[in-house]
Amino acid sequence: MPHDPHRPALIPVVTLGLALSLFLTFSYVLCILGYLLLPGMPVQHSALSIFLPGFELLSWRTFFLGLGESFGWGWYIALVFGPLYNFLVSRRA
């Protein structure tokens, strides 16, 4: 069945989950690298603990905890947003 160009496409939830998880994981690692390599930057890296329960600057245990939680947040967003979006798009048609 060809895609109707006037109807928005459905979001593939698995692809969205992987993309968001990798994006948030990459961003987390970049933030930690910034903390380690540029300690004088005026950025509150401790704000990560707002979104990553149990995260504290910085030990190996909390680094990997934050890495896993970043990946998990991507899946959480995808599993909530993707189906909601797809449902609303299909109802609109």
Provide the whole-model pTM: 0.84
pLDDT of residue 2: 61
3-state class of 51 per DSSP? helix
pLDDT, one tens digit per residue, over 69-79 is 999 999 999 99
pLDDT, one tens digit per residue, over 52-66 is 888 888 889 999 999
pLDDT of residue 3: 62
Read off the DSSP letter of residue 54: T
Identity of the amino acid at 7: R
